[in-house]
Every structure is written in C-alpha cells, then in structure tokens.
Structure 1
C-alpha cells in the first residue's frame, strides 16, 4: 500500500493553511469531558521493516478459502475467473472513473455499462436491464418496490426456500413501506408448495417471487408458478442464479415481469462476501419504473455511435419518497468484470461452466448419499447445490472438515430449524476436481481425507 509521510513541518504547514495554531484547537468543538485523556494503549512504534514483518505474521494466521476445497454456496460461489477479467478491470481508466453524467468525456465507461446491460438481457431473456444494483438482495427488494408501484397492491408472496439474507432485506424494505410479505412454505420435495401458493393468491397480490433454483438448490417448476400467478393478476419476480440460465429456461421464457439475482458468479471473487453485483432486467413496458441507471446507444449529429444515460434525470435521485428509487449509484466496476467474464467465455464457455457444475454436483451427491447415515432429504431436481443430511451435527462436521482442508458447505439448522442440526447446504462448481469430491466422501465416511 502507499505510504505518505507527515513530518512536523508538514503538519505545521497544514495547520497554518487552515488558520489554526495547533491540532488541539481543532478539537475545541468537542466537550472536554468527551475527549480522551492520555495516549492509546498501543505498543511502541516499529520501524518499517519490523512493521511489515509483524503485519505479515498476522496475515499468515488467516486460512483463506482459496487454500481449501470450497463447497460453500448459498449465493456466493468459488468459480474460476479468467485472468482477462482482472486485467481489464484493473485498468486505471475504469477503476478511477466517476459517475458518467458527462457523456462527452465518459464514452468508455458508458459503453462498458451498455455492453453489460446487453449481456444481462441475453442471459435472462428479458427486454432491458439496468446498470446494476448493489447486490442480489437489494435488487430483489427494489424489484418488490417497483412491482408494488405498478400493481398498486402492497402484498408480495415470497418462498421460504429463498436466501435468509434476501428475506431479511425484503422485510426491512417492506416494513418502511407497509408492504405485507407473505411466506410460502416448501413441500416435502423442496419445491414451493403449490396448494399453499394457490390459496395465498386468492387475495389481491402484487407479485410472486420465484427463486430459481431455490436456496436448497432445487429447480422450481417456474413456468407453472408464473402461469398461476399471472392468472390471478400478480406479477412474477424471478430471482435467478445467472449461471443456471445456461441450462435452465431463463426468466424471459416463462414470462417473468422482472428478473433479478446475484452476479458474483460472473467474474467476481468471494472476498469475504463482497463487493457484490445485483443485476435487474424487465420487460420493455416497465422500463420507466425500473430503478438505477440505464445506458442506451444513440448517434450524434454526425451519425457516429455514442452512449448516454437515458430515461432518467439526475434530479430524480434526490426526490426522496417520490423517486423511483433511492439507490442512485451502482457497482460499475463489478458490472464491468461481469461483462468481461461473459465476453471472455462466450456462449459455449458459459454453458460449459454450467454443465460442469451440474455434472460434478450430481456426482458428489451420489457419492455422499452412499455414505452410511447420510441422505438427500429433497427429491426435487437440482442444479449445482443440494441439501445433505449428515450422520452427525453439521457444525461439528464443518469444523472437522475445515481442519482437513475442506469447506463442506453451510449448516442450515440456524436459518431452517425444521431441517434439524444435521442439514448442510453443499455447492459444487466447475472448479472442484474428482480428487476433491472423493476427499469429501472419504471424510464423511470417517476415512482419512486424501486417501
């Protein structure tokens, strides 16, 4: 990291420039009783070499996920990221650029966003996409507000088999807008309970959220759910894993009104859970209701291709409760990474990522189901993620597996107590190898990992 030295002379010059005699004078607005007396209880200062060694030793105590075979999922996945993604995203003209309000000096940034929007439309099968949201959870919450405004009905149906984090964000947004969020349970096979859904649609409802695949990895009958919701006058918000759209029908094919999801799988590292990338796409007739930025292509007076922000004025972002949305920025650098990732893989490569994830997850599920005391509680079809009931408590197994270099998944007991303390969510991406799958099986079977 950069180091900027402030000498006594530097500090004196800065204090003189702002018109004060000492640093203590800057603290005068703070009551004396609230000021700290004496020095902080810190170790004495270190020379640069000693400090670097100390920080290196502290960092060495970490156990990064990259050093283990990761089967973690739940919305954030360990995928291969082509070197091209970091190379392009690290170029200074992208990572130092500011909000592209001045189109004449922001053509590169605007074109990158335009390409990202176009690729999101290709993946989801929708008409128009925005320049991205903060993450999948906020994208879903903003979609809820958008559809409630369109339908004029403050009621939304949400599957219980939706990410607990997403449900928490929805509840936070809904509480401030007096929107009723009704939870629809899942059936014995892990799919949305159709009978409960049909009865819940009897009351006027703005939207049904369809998680595809759902949090348990199970692939929903999205076409049937969408048809049922539309027949009752409710819109459909599809919350999808973008990689799954390479194998499973995308939202546009089953008539979703809005498609949202988490784009971390598209070229972003896990990085302790962020920064993330929320994508949002909708039908053309709803474009003026869509929150966030939108970039479009046009031509100038000389007929040359150009890119501009469109259908929104800057002032709409400061209209408080009358604004389309109070999210007035986006994760542009993350969106750029997603665009580069998709362009680098192409349609064939993107589909291969999905196919490998599907094949390897099913291979591991078969291995683990054969271990005594383990079983797959849900019989529904899955994409790359599945729930496993272990012979022992999931938290204890996760601790043991981590020590053996395997991150076995997410224990589900805390968020879904009805599944019990032995349930764990296991995700398998294209990065996992045959030997890693076998190590997982051997560890679960009580054998020494790696033999």
Structure 2
C-alpha cells in the first residue's frame, strides 16, 4: 500500500466510536500462545525518500547478462505495446469479474484468451488460466483421475524427460490425493521417451500418460505413436506443451488418431518477462467431453435481452462457488494480469508472427549448438530433432564452467548433471529469437576460453 491515510487521532476516534481500548483488543479471540509477540527482527520504519533510495540500491544489484538458459522459462522479445496496454488502469487493477455488468472488458479479454489458447492447442475448451505450468500439470492429472472412469487407479506414466521441476510440483500438490507418478525412461541416443519403456507398462491400466512436447531436453517426441499407445491402454493423454512451439508444430488436438485429451503448459513465453522466478501463468485446455471436470472457471459469450453480445462466467467449478465437497480443485483465482499480457502479445504477433518467433528461435539454437560443438571436447548429447534448446556435453564438470561464464556476463545454460547424472557433464542451452550472430559468437568464444 503506497499511502496509509489514518493519523493517530483518526485511529483513536475510530476506536472510541466502537468502544475498543486498542487495536490489539480487536483480536482478543486469538490465544496469547499463538501470537508472535514483538517483531524484534523488523527494523524501524523509513521515510518515503529513504525507502526509495534503499529499493534503488537493491535494484542495482541485479546483474544484466547474456542469457542462454531455458529449461521452462524463456527470454523472448516483448513488443513495447504489450505492457503499455496491460498496465492501463482498466486491466492493471481489475480482479475476478464477479459482476458481469461491470466487468465486460475483462470478461471479453479472458474469452479472447481462451479462444486463442484453444486455437494453439487444437482443443475445444480452455479455462481462464492456472497458477503456472507445474501446478497446471498437477491439476491436469487430478482432472484425468476424475474423467477416466475406465482406469481410475491414479497411476500416471510420466516420462523422465518431463520437466523435473514440474514433476516435483506434481508430487507436492497431488501426492496426497491419489496421484502416483510412474517414471518412464528416455532413449539415451535420441533423447525421446522410449516407446519400449512404455510397453513395459502395457496392461497395467494407467489413468493417464504424460507427453511433453518438446520435452525438457528440447527434443521432439513421437507424439502420434505415444498418443495412440496410451489410448489403446484406456489411458487419457495429458500433453505439456510450449505455446511458442505450437506455432510451428502439430497441435496436441491432432496427435495420433484421437488427439490429446488434456493440454497444459506454461504461458510465460507469451509476453511475460523473466523476473527472478515469476510471475508466470499456466494454461489448461481439454475436450468438451471433460469440461465439467476442469478446474478454475470459464468465460462464455452470450446475448442480453436486447440481443447484444455479452460475456459472463459460465462454469465455475471452484470451492468459492459450489459446495466444498463438489469442487473440482482449490484453484481460487487466476493470473489475470499475465493472461492480459499474453492475449495482447498473441493479438499483436498473430499466427504469422508467432511462427516467425518459433522459426528464428529454432535457427538460432541450431547455429549455437553447431558453433559450440566446434570446441574441442564439446558435443551434442542427443541425436533427436529439437526445438529451441538442446543438451551438450562438456569435457569437465558443468558448475565451474557456468560460474566462470557468469563472471564474463554470460548465463551459459542449465546444469543437467544434478537431475540427470547419467548424462555426464551435460548442459542444456537455449537461444531464442533475441540472440544475434554476434552474441552467439560471443558465447562460443567465452566457452572456448573457459575450457582452455
């Protein structure tokens, strides 16, 4: 809160009006044992000028570096108009649009967002967003348990090539709700999820099979074969996708014979800047047959009594709106500001612009891997086709190399050796459309110096 208007006199007058001796007396129902007591670790309050100076000093500690890290969060160019519009007062301060008559602008934007996400994923219905990609996957698996009446066991076949951070979130958010992740290995040569590894689970009646496209290594999966195999087992297919990649790859709704059943992912690439870990937003789409198992809320388009178009919340399977036992999840709000930015971003770029971003990112990563592979001792880890990130193997440990690159103003990638020790000294590198030929060469030369 930037300004607290109440003076000490104001507070005394308000307390007198309600006949309370102090502010603390308003909370006398809280037992003393539960109160924190004096806040001895909190410094004295500062003036506005002093706070401004302090925050400016803290902000100056942030380092600006040449970034080649991907691993689920991507640096894309964001047109200036995106956040100029997003931060207008009409959008910037808007909350959940409970009153349709007063929230037509927000509701229309969410409706347009749902339409665009359905277009990207090839699905029939979208909700109005989730917290982030990891929690969206967790909610998608819980949704699969509700929707798959044929195989309700809760066993989920999850490839090890799925983002390990997402797998951690799923374990945290769904582990006590009956979701059991069974990890499926990848092919050491191609980096793809091994169909033979899936076949080992034939006949076990899994509730769902997860497919990430592209997977965590940036490798493109054989989505058609996996989708058809999963459906033959009576399992639903839960797709985890990069929205930028969908501008040039087959939509999940068209995978295999029947298409994916639930599609989720992280929306950060669509206009959200990298900012020390967030904020992000997740998306979730599905087939109309499963719409009533979808968490969150859906905005629909209708007409009023005069036949004029209007927008309203049409399906709200949340604990705030219906009895707790019948709620589909505890998702109780959405990332509306980030969704606003994503909708404006997609509107400005359009299908052609998104495809150009994806194609330029793919070309830059190919060039980066080619240049880095020309350094003695550096080689690609996988032979499979990839999107805008790829794993390379270094001749020695990754951590000291990344530290040395950081000292030269380069964030060199994501260290795979902790999560995937079997890959050896493996590094995941990413180059989006923001990288120039000079910057690719700068990274190559810096890595060569460090390894030398």
| TM-score past 0.5 threshold | yes
* CA distance 1:183–1:363, shift in 2 (3 Å): same
Equivalence for 2:297: 293
3-state SS in 2 of match to 1:101 = coil
Say whether the 8 Å CA contact 2:300–2:311 is kept in structure 1: yes
Q: 5+ unaligned residues in a row in structure 2: which ranges?
A: none
Equivalence for 1:382: 386
Say whether the 8 Å CA contact 1:73–1:426 is kept in structure 2: yes
1:161-200 equivalences under 5 Å are 161-188=161-188, 189-200=190-201
Equivalence for 2:62: 62
Asked if 1:416 is matched to 2:420, the reply is yes
3-state SS in 1 of match to 2:162 = coil
Equivalence for 1:215: 216
Structure 1 residue 56 displacement after superposition: 2.5
3-state SS in 1 of match to 2:157 = strand
Cα distance in 1 between the residues matched to 2:76 and 2:137? 23
* CA distance 1:42–1:167, shift in 2 (3 Å): closer
Query: What number of residue pairs does the alignment pair up?
Result: 444
Structure 1 residue 399 displacement after superposition: 1.2
1:289-312 CA distance string (max 9 Å, x none): 221111111112211111121134
Cα distance in 2 between the residues matched to 1:419 and 1:379? 14
1:269-280 equivalences under 5 Å are 269-280=273-284
Equivalence for 1:147: 144
1:44-443 equivalences under 5 Å are 48-63=48-63, 67-152=64-149, 153=152, 154-188=154-188, 189-254=190-255, 255-312=259-316, 317-420=321-424, 422-443=425-446
Structure 1 stretch displaced more, 260-269 or 276-285: 276-285
3-state SS in 1 of match to 2:244 = helix
Cα distance in 2 between the residues matched to 1:385 and 1:262? 16
3-state SS in 1 of match to 2:297 = coil
Cα distance in 2 between the residues matched to 1:419 and 1:391? 12
Structure 1 residue 2 displacement after superposition: 2.6
Structure 1 residue 43 displacement after superposition: 6.6
RMSD over equivalenced CA pairs, Å: 2.4
Say whether the 8 Å CA contact 1:174–1:181 is kept in structure 2: no
Structure 1 residue 315 displacement after superposition: 6.4
3-state SS in 2 of match to 1:387 = strand
Q: 5+ unaligned residues in a row in structure 1: which ranges?
A: none
Cα distance in 2 between the residues matched to 1:54 and 1:333? 27
1:272-328 CA distance string (max 9 Å, x none): 222211111111222122211111111122111111211346667453343222213
Structure 1 residue 148 displacement after superposition: 1.4
1:413-442 CA distance string (max 9 Å, x none): 22222223x211111111111111111101
Structure 1 residue 12 displacement after superposition: 3.1
Structure 1 stretch displaced more, 51-60 or 140-149: 51-60
TM-score (normalizing by structure 1): 0.92
Say whether the 8 Å CA contact 2:156–2:208 is kept in structure 1: yes
Say whether the 8 Å CA contact 1:293–1:328 is kept in structure 2: no
* CA distance 1:183–1:447, shift in 2 (3 Å): closer
Cα distance in 2 between the residues matched to 1:245 and 1:57? 41
Structure 1 residue 101 displacement after superposition: 2.2
3-state SS in 2 of match to 1:296 = strand
